[in-house]
Amino acid sequence: MISTAASPIPFSAKTQLKFHRTHDTLNVNPQIRRLKFTIRCSSSTSLREKSEEKSSSSADELKGGKDGEFLKSEKGDLVDFLPPIKVAKRVVLVRHGQSTWNAEGRIQGSSDFSILTQKGEAQAETSRQMLMDDSFDVCFSSPLIRSKRTAEIIWDARKEEIITDADLREIDLYSFQGLLKHEGKAKYGSAYRQWQIDAANFIIDGHYPVRELWERARNCWSRILTHESKSVLVVAHNAVNQALVATAIGLGTEYFRILLQSNCGVSVLDFTPQPEGGSPSICLNRLNQTPNSPIAAGSSAGRKASTRIILVCHGISQSVAEDSIPHSGDGSMNMLGIIQAQKTAELLLDLKLKTVVSSPKIASTETANTICRVQEAADCLGADCVPRYVEMKEIGDLDIEHILRKSKKDAPALQAFQPGWLDGFDKEVTTSLWSQSGKAWKCLLAELAAGSEEENVLVAVGHPALHIAMLGHCLNLTEEWIGTFHLDAGSISVVDFPDGATGRGIIRCINYTAHLGRWSIPITRPTSDDENF
């Protein structure tokens, strides 16, 4: 059954859309560059992005400061806008499968002229199988054909309703819509260039599409979170799913194209009510779990990326039950950990690795050694092959477990399978963790910059807490975000660098576990306390 939260809107690729308000308060002098800070508002009628003007002499300074350091987002600059909730909610976002215009390289925007390709239908079927054992209370869908069809395939025989919401449509690109990418470049020149390198300030036909998209995403969260449901499926599009993730965790329009959403990629957000009321706590449980391999060759935010860091969480160790911290790596891996390490090594076989770096902890070094051995063995299957050596380095800066053990809080409060579990540590512990992870991230960037191969890939193995904090440094966040991300043992997260090791990192996926097969943690169902979801 399909109902609508708003009336469907007819879209045209050639006719300028008329149903948007022009945000006069957002008009800017084109001679002045602006650094965007998102302000969370409590009123849904005044959900505006406020701008703090920062003069800059070049687009490069807008993106980054001196010595390639990017301007940091401050969580303190945000005002909560999400409505309070009474029970925990899990929201699963899925991008539609490949469409005919995706395949053609045509700019879709919010036009409604493309349908799923055969590959897109197959991707949606894979997502259906991935989610078939999960119970959802409701499904929200974009009204556009490609997303509605994907939602119907995933929803299958479920009897609960599918609600179409016009605000879940793809980003409105006005005159760009319907053009092939080379046509857009030829016809619009500088405007198309700005769309590529400075999308947050991109303007066309008197509109700022990315800013409008962020406002729509906030409006969507108000309806999704106030719906009487505990588990929600949302099927929409690339840009709008990016905006939903970003606005939920408090990131502004400058993060557009930083959190990738592949065709039928799945992202999971956990919302936990606050005892005193107010906006809930948010944790990004995983980002962009795709039907295909996350390390497959391809583009990153539309650009070729051959430089990347792959963060591998070590397998579960035998000491996990007795240790005072979650996912301790002090002991050798147990049987499940060995399987996790082997499955990760098999996933990475498509890459020709030169170096694997690791925390000196036992579980991390065992995981790293497994990856190296499988890489070397794969090149020696023929009778006349020459063995390839994969270097394994232990790096002390990747060890953070001694910091976590300083926590004075009780171990039961630090269950790693709970959303935002790092927030359970003492303030001085998280501050030390943040500082140490910053050193570790700089160490990885230095290792990556030292690589000379055309395909420059660095694999780093360590504790989930370290990788969570390093993802925050990659995104140029502050310590306050440390509980916003979640990683499981045996998972991988991939960061692409389309502009090389000194450029900005693009997050391809976070907490990817599909490679673990039957030993993976279910993509949407919680690992404990089902009553909370």
The residues with which 4 forms a beta bridge, in sequence order, are 164
Of residues 121, 161, 170, 227, which has the active-site annotation? Answer: 170
Is the sign of the CA dihedral 172, 177, 181, 185 positive or negative?
Answer: negative
- Cα-flanking dihedrals φ and ψ of residue 458, to 5°? -115, 125
3-class DSSP state for residue 515? Answer: helix
Flag whether 513 is marked binding: no
Flag whether 95 is marked binding: yes
Flag whether 100 is marked binding: yes
Flag whether 99 is marked binding: yes
Residues 6 or more apart from 303 whose CB is under 8 A from it?
498
Left if phi > 0, otherwise alpha if psi is -120 to 50, otherwise beta: which for 431?
A: alpha
- Cα-flanking dihedrals φ and ψ of residue 480, to 5°? -60, -20
How far apart, in whole angstroms, are the C-alpha atoms of residue 415 and residue 419? 9
Number of C-beta neighbours around residue 513 at 10 A: 23
How far apart, in whole angstroms, are the C-alpha atoms of residue 200 and residue 203? 9
Flag whether 405 is marked binding: no
Left if phi > 0, otherwise alpha if psi is -120 to 50, otherwise beta: which for 301?
A: left
How far apart, in whole angstroms, are the C-alpha atoms of residue 524 and residue 419? 12
Tokens for 495?
């960061």
How far apart, in whole angstroms, are the C-alpha atoms of residue 338 and residue 342? 6
The residues with which 287 forms a beta bridge, in sequence order, are 510
Tokens for 65?
């400061």
Flag whether 98 is marked binding: yes
Residues 6 or more apart from 414 whose CB is under 8 A from it?
325, 326, 407, 421, 424, 425
Flag whether 193 is marked binding: no
Q: Are strands 89-95 and 266-272 parallel, antiparallel or unpaired?
A: antiparallel
Flag whether 263 is marked binding: no
3-class DSSP state for residue 461? Answer: strand
Of residues 61, 74, 96, 394, which has the active-site annotation? Answer: 96
Residues 6 or more apart from 28 whose CB is under 8 A from it?
34, 51, 201
Number of C-beta neighbours around residue 382 at 10 A: 7
CB contact at 8 A, 71 and 35: yes
Flag whether 427 is marked binding: no
* Residues in the chain, total: 533
Q: For residue 77, give the DSSP letter.
A: G
Q: Are strands 231-236 and 138-141 parallel, antiparallel or unpaired?
A: parallel
* Type of residue numbered 307: T
Let me know if 96 is a catalytic residue.
Answer: yes
Flag whether 146 is marked binding: yes
Residue positions forming the annotated binding site:
95-102, 146, 181
**Catalytically annotated residues:** 96, 170
Residue positions forming the annotated binding site for substrate:
95-102, 146, 181
